[in-house]
Amino acid sequence: MVLGLIIACEVAFWVAVFGGLLARYVAHRPRLGIVLLFLAPVVDVVLLALVTVDLLGGGTASWHHGLAALYIGISIAYGHRMIAWADAKFATRFQGAPPRPKLTGAAYTIACWKDAGRTLLAVGIAAAILGGLILIVGAPERTEELGGFFPLLGVILGIDVLWAVSYTIWPKQSAPVKG
């Protein structure tokens, strides 16, 4: 059931984002667009509430509950960036705004380190949610699975830091000019 909730919340997140952007750029209803965009983080609160109710109602934690915590962490840490990316794409498509330049060199390296910071925030949020659920439920036999997610959070952060380190050592080069 929790996996279905995660999928439904992911779909609801993107429906809110694209609905907000369509309202803003296609329907020319910026206020409606803002309202719809505001619903995107509300989806995270709903998911957290549903997962908590499930566990407090006697459910036994599974990897789905841990995935929900990770999803919420990523959504909070990266949500604004994902929405800004989609907004820029819509602005380019529907208002003729220039496309965002592709980052290379030091600019790309800095972006990678900013992403590593976002990932640190995401795993920190996920760890706080996992720890909070373990404490609130107060039944180690039902929340044992959640403890197994902490090493995974470390691996996720480690991969992102290695990515940033690699582009610090070997900066991304500009595409060769054709002509």
Asked if residue 167 has pLDDT above 80, the reply is: yes
Residues 107-123, mean pLDDT to the nearest whole number = 97
pLDDT at 2 over 80: no
Q: Residue 170 phi/psi, 5° resolution? A: -120, 85
pLDDT single digits (tens) 9-21: 889 988 999 999 9
Q: What is the pLDDT of residue 179?
A: 59
pLDDT digits (tens, 9 = 90+) for 45-63: 999 999 999 899 998 999 9
DSSP 58: T
What is the Cα–Cα distance from 162 to 18, expressed in whole angstroms? 32
- Measured in degrees and rounded to the nearest 5, phi and psi for residue 58 equal 105, 0
Residues near 68 by beta carbon (within 8 Å), at least 6 away in sequence:
2, 5, 6, 47, 48, 51
